[in-house]
Amino acid sequence: MTTISVGAKASIKKAFSSDELEAFAKLSKDFNPIHLDEEAGKNSIFKQRVVHGALVNSLFSGLLGCELPGEGTIFIEQTIKFKAPVFLDQEIEAFVEITNIREDKPVITLRTYALNDEGTIVIDGVAIILFPGLKS
């Protein structure tokens, strides 16, 4: 278990498959052809299919709820900037890093960011969470 302190960090690696994009489209109702259709991807500014930004962003939910700080985490707020596209089958590494722990209540601020396999930041943001397991 990772210590809950400023500077603590956790990460996860993931590449998204065509089947996962299709499943996410069904769940989210986002059937934008740039995500699902090869021809639409080729004709886009990216020249290929792009993973839904919200799907990539969902990696932070898993990290926060299962890794750092862990079970019991309650999302309060999130800001995100989509900085670069994520492509089908491209490995992404998502990170959460604690930047602040409030002394008066169990609220933690974390930087949330993800890098592609070339080291480019694809998502950058901040999450504020309530962690009832935090001892003040």
State which residues form the domain around 94.
9-130
DSSP-derived letter for residue 40 is: H
Residue 4 domain-assigned? no
Residue 20, pLDDT above cutoff 90:
yes
Q: Give, for 66, the enclosing helix (H) or strand (E).
A: helix 53-66
Residue 3 domain-assigned? no
How much is the pLDDT for 136? 56
Quick one: how far is CA 10 from the chain centroid?
12
At 31-56, the pLDDT tens digits run 999 999 999 999 999 999 999 999 99
Question: How many domains is the chain built from?
Answer: 1
At 79-121, the pLDDT tens digits run 999 999 999 999 999 999 999 999 999 999 999 999 999 999 9
Residue 30 domain-assigned? yes
DSSP-derived letter for residue 50 is: B
Q: What is the CATH number of the domain that holds 91?
A: 3.10.129.10
Cis peptide before 69 (omega within 30 of 0): yes
Residue 135 domain-assigned? no
Q: Give, for 104, the enclosing helix (H) or strand (E).
A: none
